[in-house]
Every structure is written in structure tokens, then in C-alpha cells.
Structure 1
Amino acid sequence: MIITYQFDGNDELCLRFGPDDTLRLLILPPLFDEANRVRHLVVECARALAELGVSSLLPDLPGCNESVRSLDTASLSLWQAALITCSDQLGPVTHVASMRGGALLDGALGDRQRWRLAPVKGGQLLRTMLRTRIASDREAGITSTSEALMETARAQGIELAGNSLSPCMIRELDSAVPSDGSAIRLVRFADDPLDADGRLKGAPLWLRAEPAHNPAMATAMAQDIAAWMRG
């Protein structure tokens, strides 16, 4: 079901799945171009959760998807404020599931229990997008460096991987890290050497050049989330 929440004078869209009388999960996908590559996966995970009796919310962030706001006016702090508003208006939200850069935002929702898939620092996302920009410039016969691009980005904003990012977004992203907490379940892929509480089979879809879907992965994510929420 498509519903809305009101933030900063605009109606922002939100997908709602599952029954209304159960624990409610807020889902935070990856950010920027990574979000486009896994949109199908995230939606199918939410549908699988609904079949398991878990309700969830998948909100559009201001400046993303169907939002009327321009992305170049957004920042991480603005997105966090929007999530607080969404939770207040459409909740109660009891749990949060975030993926990759979405974990940079989940701390805004306080001490709610959190499930994270392969969280990443903001600086790492930024460096990945800078490398994509440098490669694109090279193909166009333009010589650019990450240092020069960052100087421009901090002063006047920049377009990276098809995203127009403001100076405020660049500064916040460069220093952002997932927040700490005791009630966090950390999930990674099977070949990831970093510590984790759980593992998923398969390869990260956000690394693909084009959007893709993996039904088995969506089901496995939903099963892990549902088991975690039910303790």
C-alpha cells in the first residue's frame, strides 16, 4: 500500500507492507546509486516479511525516488529528521533494518533495535562515487583527481554517479559512520571476512553494473529479520 508522511511542507511517499497489528519495521535501503540497484530486492524482502506476519515501512527520503524535493537540497541530517517524522506519523516503529549506507541514518531513531546488512562508512561511499566520476571523466578526455573533485564538492557541490550532492551532503557524508549500540544484529555476506552475527549466501547486488534481483536472497533476508524481531 502507498501512503504518505508530511515533512518540510511536502508529502513524501512510503510503501507499507503487512498487517497493522504487529511489530512494525522501518526499512532503510542503501543510498544513492546503490539504492537503484537493489530496489527490487528490498521491496521483495518487505513482501516476504509480510507473508511471515511482519509489517514494514519503506519510506522515500526527501530528494529520492518520487520525492518532489531536489536531491541537491538534501543532507544526511535532513534525511534523519525525515525518518524521525515518518516514524512519528506512521509508527509505532519498533525495529529498524538498514543496508549499507542506510546504517548511517538509523541512529536517528534512538534506541530501537537495529538489523544491519553490510554497513559502510560515508567516506567509503564517497570514495567509490569519486572513482566512478574520475573514470567517467577519463573516458571523456578530462583529467580529474579525487583531491580536486573534493575541493570543488566542499565548496559548491558536485554530481557523482548521477546524484547532485550539496556541499552540506558532502561534508556530512565524508565524516559519517554508523552509530554504536548494544541492540544491533550485524549481518554480512558469507565471503566477507569481517565479524558478523549472521551470514547471507550470495553476492551483494549493489556491486552490479545494473539493477538486479535475487529471490532467494530476499527470502533469506526476510527470514533472518523476522527471526530476529521475534527474539
Structure 2
Amino acid sequence: MNASYRFDGNDELCLRFGPDDAPRLLILPPLFDEANRVRHLMVEFGRLLGDLGIASLLPDLPGCNESLVPLDTASISLWQAALITCAEQLGPVTHVASLRGGALLDGALGDLRRWRLAPVKGGQLLRTMLRTRIASDREAGITSSSEALMETARASGIELAGNSLSPCMIRELDSAAPSQSSAIRLVRFADDPLDADGRITGAPLWLRAEPAHDPAMAAAIAQDIAAWMRG
């Protein structure tokens, strides 16, 4: 079901799943091009959670998906403010689930319980996009480097992986890290050697060259989140 929240003079789309009268889980997608590759996965596990009687919200961030806001006006702090507004208008929100870079935003929602899948620091996302830009420049016969690109980005913004990022976004992203809390369930993939509270079988869809879907992964995520919320 489609809903919307009003933020900064604009109506932003929000998909709503599950019972209308239940407390809600707020789903935070990965950032930038990674979000496009896992959109189907997020919609599917939102629907599966609804089948399990759990309500959830999947909002568009300003500048993303159906938003009419230019991406080059967005920043980490702006997205956090938008999520606070979304939770206030479409809540009550009692839990948050974030994937990858979405974990950079969930700290804005206070002491809500959080579920995270493979969280990442903002600087890591930035370096990945810079490497993609350097490879693209090389194919076009242009010599570039991370240092030179970052100097330009901090001064006047830059386009990375098809995303127009402002100097403010670059600065905030470069220093952003998932916030700490005792109320976090950390989930990773089965072959990830880092510590985790739970494991999901499968390969990260955000590493695919094109958007893809994994029904088994969506079901596993929904089951894990449902058990966590009910526990």
C-alpha cells in the first residue's frame, strides 16, 4: 500500500505493509546505487513480514526513487531529519531495520531497537564509488585519482556512480559511521568472517552488476526480523 510523508515542503513516497493498526518497523535501504539493486528484495521481505502480522514502512529518501528533490541537495543529516519526520507522521515506529549504508541513518531515531544487515561506514561507500569513477575515467582516456577527485568533491561536489553529490554530502558521508547501541541485532552473510548475532545464506545483491532478487534471502530476512521483534 502506498502512503506518503510530508517533509521540507514535499510529499515523499512510503510503501506500507502489514496491519494498519499495528506498531511499525521502519526499513532503511542501502544508499545510492546499492539501493536500486536490492529494491525488489526490500519490497518482498516487507510483504512477507506483513504476512507474518508485522507492519513496516519503506520510505523514499529525499532525492531518491520517486522523490522530486534533486539528489545534489541531499545530505546524511537531511536524510536523518526526513526519517524522523516519516516516523512521526506514519508511526508509531518501534523498531528499525537497515541494510548496508542505511545503518548510517538509524541513529537519528533515538533508542529504538535496531536490526542491521552488513552495516558499512560511509568512507567505505565513498571509496567504492571513487574506484568506479576512476575505472570509468580510464576507459574514457582520462587520468584521475582518488585524491584529486576528493579535492574536487569537497570543493564543488561530484558525480559518482550516477549520483550527483554535494560537498556537504561528501563531507558527511566521509566521516559517517553506524552509531553504537546495546539494542542492535547485527546480521551478516554466512561467509562473512566478522562477528554477528545472526547469519543469512546467500550473496549480497548490491554487488551484482544489475538489480536482482533472491526469494530465499527475502524469506530468511523476514523470518529473522520477525523472530527478533517478537523476542
TM-score, scaled to structure 1: 0.99
Aligned pairs, number: 231
Partner SS for 2:87: helix
Shift of 1:20: 1.8
Give the corresponding residue for 2:47.
47
Letter in 1 for 2:14: C
1:71-124 CA deviation, whole Å, 9 max, x = no partner? 000000000000000000000000000000000000000000000000000000
Partner of 2:66: 66
**Partner in structure 1 of residue 132 of structure 2:** 132
Question: What displacement does 1:23 show?
Answer: 2.8
Aligned counterparts of 1:71 and 1:148: Cα–Cα separation in 2: 22
Instruction: Calculate percent identity across the aligned residue pairs.
Output: 86
Partner Cα distance (2:137, 2:42) in 1: 32
C-alpha separation in 1, matches of 2:150 and 2:191: 32
Alpha-carbon distance in 1 for matches of 2:117, 2:189: 8
- 1:154 corresponding residue in structure 2: 154
Kindly indicate whether the alpha-carbon contact (under 8 Å) linking 2:30 and 2:100 is maintained by their aligned counterparts in 1: yes
Match of 1:68, SS state, is coil
Partner of 2:80: 80
Q: Secondary structure at the match of 1:94?
A: strand
Alpha-carbon shift at residue 22 of structure 1 (Å): 2.3
Other-structure match for 1:202: 202
Structure 1 Cα separation of the partners of residues 215 and 13 of structure 2: 25
- 2-side partners of 1:72 and 1:152: how far apart? 15
Q: Quick one: distance in 2 between partners of 1:131 and 1:16?
A: 36
**Partners in 2 of 1:67 and 1:201 — Cα distance?**
33
Instruction: State the Cα deviation string for residues 18-48 of structure 1 (Å, max 9, x = none).
Output: 0022231000010000000000001001001
What is the identity, as a one-letter code, of the residue corresponding to 2:72?
D
Using the TM superposition, give the Cα deviation of residue 217 of structure 1 relative to its aligned residue in structure 2, in angstroms: 0.2
**Structure 2 counterpart of 1:19:** 19
Where structure 2 has 5 or more consecutive residues not aligned to the other structure, the ranges are none
* TM-score, normalised relative to structure 2: 0.99
Map residues 151-190 of structure 1 onto 2, 5 A cutoff.
Answer: 151-190=151-190
Question: CA RMSD for the aligned pairs?
Answer: 0.5
SS in structure 1 opposite 2:114? strand
CA displacement at 1:151 relative to structure 2:
0.2
Residue 108 (structure 1) aligned with residue 108 (structure 2): yes
Aligned to 1:10: 10
Query: d(CA) in 1 for partners of 2:178 and 2:191?
Result: 21
Give me the whole-angstrom Cα distance separating, in 1, the residues matched to 2:173 and 2:159.
14
Q: Corresponding residue for 2:34?
A: 34
| Runs of 4+, deviation exceeding 2 Å | none
- Aligned to 2:129, what secondary structure does the other structure show? helix
Question: Whole-Å Cα distance in 1 between the matches of residues 189 and 208 of structure 2?
Answer: 15
